[in-house]
Amino acid sequence: MGLAVMKGGELIEWRVKTFKDSWSHGKLKDILFVIMEYVEAYKIKIIVLKKPDMHRSSEGLDKLVSELTVWAKINRMKVVSFTLSEMKRQFSKERNFSKAEMIKQVALQYPELYSEYNKEQRNRREYYVKMFEAIIVAVLFA
């Protein structure tokens, strides 16, 4: 899971958080707990999500989004979501950027991401992509 926190247009926290093992009710609770810790620690008022495409979603992910949305509403928080297609359209009005191009542009905009960007370019498997997606949706909403 990618996490990013922005305040006043400034990127103040970003990371990848992994949750091993197969999907379970316990894993759902663990993920929600981490998100709730971030909300409390950073006094977050708006949660922005990258919504998975329908064919890429799963029952567990749908349940996570549903529970997070209910929890946020109970706590008077706004939840906003973007699909990858919406992210591409919003990222630049001039042309439709690919996900790789959006990641590169965000890394250029925030030099503190350069290390993770370079590591991701060398990785055989995607690792930092979810973190970059979280940053992109945060930037789009900011």
pLDDT in tens, 10-47: 999 999 999 988 999 999 999 999 999 999 999 999 99
The full set of domains in the chain, from first to last, is: 2-141 (3.30.420.10)
Whole-angstrom CA distances from 82 to 45, 98, 114, 131 are: 17, 15, 24, 15
> Which of these, 71, 76, 75, 98, lies nearest to 87 by C-alpha position?
98
Q: Tell me the per-residue pLDDT of 97-112, one tens digit each, with 9 for 90 and over.
A: 889 999 999 999 999 9
Question: Using alpha carbons only, what angle is made at residue 134 by residues 131 and 139, rounded to the nearest 5 degrees?
Answer: 125
pTM tops 0.85: yes
Give SS3 for 6.
strand
